[in-house]
Amino acid sequence: MKASKRSSAPVKGRRAQNREAIRKRIVKAALALFQEKGFDSTTTKAIARRARIAEGTVFNYFETKEDIALHFFELEVDHAIAVVRKNARLRHAPLEEKLFVLIETQLDFLKPHQRFIGAAFIQALRPTSKLGFSGQAIALRNRYVSFVQELIEESLPRQTSGIFAWFAPLVFWIYYLGILLYWLNDDSEGKQNTLALLDRSLKFGVMLLKKGEI
């Protein structure tokens, strides 16, 4: 029989504790550096130094430098989904409003990190990128796309047979990428140009969806 531990919480062994701590240190160090110097100019050596570990250790936790960035976007997507879910007022709001808040929340989250987002995010979405089209990244995209799907069905339950039904979320994904590109290059006060484009195009897109086809 095993030396079982105290009754209470599932006690984490030294190993698991340490692993978690180091993982966090890496992410924290990387984010700080990405923000300071941008993605490309941040070396994995610097990340390791800042996290007080050996260079190789970074790669015991993340397969590539991009993966560290991907972790950040997981936080971003999960955060945005949670915000939309928890917003009571939104529950019965029109679809375009839900989608607006979803993207707005994402952009707010990304705002302090614009410098490396252009580099890392778009890069992570390259079709051939190990990150963009396999493993974690696919899971992340699916989580996002499924959520959008839910929002659509929740608001337009009768349209599910429309011509757009099966690829509306995919289109939304591409649309989001477009918005992101636009946002990154938007120099207007408070990114108002992006918000305006967002507002109008969402209203329009939803109208389209309601018609059920082109």
Partner DNA sequence: TAATAATTATGAGTGTACTCATTTATGAAA
Partner DNA sequence: TTTCATAAATGAGTACACTCATAATTATTA
Q: How many residues bind DNA (CB under 7 A)?
A: 26
Candidate ranges 52-60, 79-87, 91-99, 202-210; the one touching DNA (CB under 7 A): 52-60
* 16 to 1, 40, 52, 126: CA distances (angstroms): 22, 31, 18, 33
Candidates 51-59, 120-128, 138-146, 183-191; binding stretch for DNA (CB under 7 A): 51-59
Single out the residue of 7, 8, 9, 14 in contact with DNA (rule: CB under 7 A): 14
d(CA 174, CA 145): 11
Which candidate, 157, 173, 147, places its Cα nearest to that of 212? 157
Q: With beta carbons less than 8 A apart as the criterion, state whether 74 and 123 touch.
A: no
Q: How far apart are CA 191 and CA 74, in angstroms?
A: 23
Range in contact with DNA (rule: CB under 7 A) among 7-15, 88-96, 152-160, 178-186: 7-15
Tokens read off for 58: 């970074």
CB of 139 to a second copy, least distance (A): 17
The entry of a second copy, DNA, none near residue 44 (CB within 5 to 8 angstroms by kind) is: DNA
**Both tokens assigned to 56:** 């190789």
User: Which stretches of the chain bind a second copy, using CB under 8 A?
Assistant: 38-40, 118-119, 122-123, 125-128, 133, 163, 167, 170-171, 174-175, 177-178, 181-182, 184-185, 197, 200-201, 203-204, 208, 214
**61 interface partner picked from DNA, a second copy, none, CB below 5 to 8 A per type:** DNA
Compute how many other C-beta atoms are within 10 angstroms of the C-beta atom of residue 184.
Answer: 17
The reply to whether 61 sits near DNA by the rule CB under 7 A is yes
SS3 122: helix
Cβ at position 40, least distance to DNA in Å: 7
**Strand (E) positions, 12-170?**
none
Nearer to a second copy, 16 or 174 (CB): 174
Which residues lie below 8 Å from residue 213, measured CB to CB, with a gap of 6+? 162, 163, 164
Nearer to DNA, 40 or 153 (CB): 40
Q: Which does 13 bind (CB under 5 to 8 A by kind): a second copy, DNA, none?
A: DNA
Nearer to a second copy, 17 or 192 (CB): 192
CA dist 205 and 89 (Å) reads: 22
